[in-house]
Amino acid sequence: MTKFTESTTTGKKFATQQITVSLTLDEAQSLDNYCQQTGKAAIDVIQELIRKLPVA
């Protein structure tokens, strides 16, 4: 069963779902390096990549 949490940001409500992602050491290092280079948080990078996925 999926558990959703409602959040409110600037008057807009949206549901969120927390997930756990297992990464290899190389993948984690690549993500960390990218975050350091861009100044972005890992969650922001992951969310951006998910939003770019093609929808079938």
Who wins on pLDDT, 18 or 1? Answer: 18
Which stretches within the chain are classed as H helix?
25-38, 42-51
pLDDT at site 16: 87
pLDDT digits 0-9 by tens, 14-56: 788 999 999 999 999 999 999 999 999 999 999 999 999 998 7
Please determine, for residue 3, whether its predicted confidence score (pLDDT) is greater than 60.
no
The domain locations on the chain are 21-56
CB of 2 closer than 8 Å to CB of 17: yes
What pLDDT score does 5 carry? 60
Contact 40, 54 (CB under 8 A): no
Q: What is the pTM of this model?
A: 0.69
Q: What pLDDT is attached to residue 6?
A: 55
CA pair distance 15, 32, nearest whole angstrom: 27
Q: Which two tokens stand for residue 35?
A: 């975050």
